[in-house]
Amino acid sequence: MNRKILIVDDDQKTRTLLKTYLEKSQYQVLLSHNGESFLVALNTYEAQLSLVILDVMLPDTDGFALCRTVRRRSNVPIIMLTASSDETDRVVGLELGADDYIAKPYSPRELLARIKAILRRTGAEPDAAPRYYSFNGFVLDTVERRVTDPDGAPVSLTGLDFQLLRYFVEHPGDILDRGILCEETRGRDAGPFDRSLDVQISRLRLRLKDDGKQPALIKTVRGVGYVFASEVSVAHG
């Protein structure tokens, strides 16, 4: 399945953040820093693209001009980003053929949700995620929102615990930084002295009988975050 996204934004920090975040959700991300480099990438990868993200303000052109160019040759979905709160910009972008519009500042989580919604409508994103995730004898049921242990007994988890574990099993083997984990479970980034995530990880390990000193499931990656080290199998139910 093609999941390639082309992003043009002149801010290097924003480009890097979006690339890292979206790649953790298994998208292929191509980056451009201005209109010229965007058009080069478009000419090269046009047939492979699932979605295009255009920043309105660019050093050599604007996102509206690029939107016109894309629409003259392709029906690929377009999301436009703007620092302006002016409704006129949003209307112009949509009239030119953009599929969605997000005003800055925005969270990567919101952008990811918009991307998934558009790709579901266009058939480039799976309609149904797996219902069951199995690991080390445990089974997580996303519909019933419950977890059972290897003996089939229910595991007592809070809502936040379940949400965190679900994110882990959806990204097995990926090194997940603290900021992303906090964003996914709390809707905000973690401050340098925020230890609430570490407390939650310790509690989750305890519920899963994962040795805190030598964990086999949720391992600490010092200075970065955590990784879910177990193999995970999925079923749609």
Domain architecture of the chain: domains with CATH: 4-122 (3.40.50.2300), 132-235 (1.10.10.10)
What the block records as the tokens of 153 is 């007994």
Give the single-character DSSP code of 154: B
The model's pTM: 0.57
The three-state secondary structure class of 52 is: strand
pLDDT mean across residues, the chain: 86
Prior bond to 130 cis, omega within 30?
Answer: no
- Report the distance separating Cα 44 and Cα 46, nearest Å: 6
The tens digit of pLDDT for each residue in 89-133 reads 677 778 888 888 888 888 888 898 889 888 877 766 655 578 899
- Report the distance separating Cα 51 and Cα 78, nearest Å: 6
The three-state secondary structure class of 36 is: helix
φ, ψ of residue 113 to 5 degrees: the values are -65, -40
pLDDT at 40 over 90: yes
The tens digit of pLDDT for each residue in 12-36 reads 998 999 999 898 888 999 999 999 9
For helices 196-207 and 159-170, angle between their N-to-C axes, nearest 10 degrees: 80
- For the ranges 74-83, 179-188, 220-229, the lowest mean pLDDT is seen at 179-188
**End-to-end Cα separation, the chain, in angstroms:** 22
φ, ψ of residue 231 to 5 degrees: the values are -70, 145
Prior bond to 105 cis, omega within 30?
Answer: yes
Q: H or E element: which one contains 147?
A: strand 146-148
On the CB side of 184, how many CA atoms lie within 13 Å of its CA? 22
On the CB side of 152, how many CA atoms lie within 13 Å of its CA? 0
For residue 1, the model assigns a pLDDT of 46
> What percent of the chain lies above the pLDDT cut of 90?
47
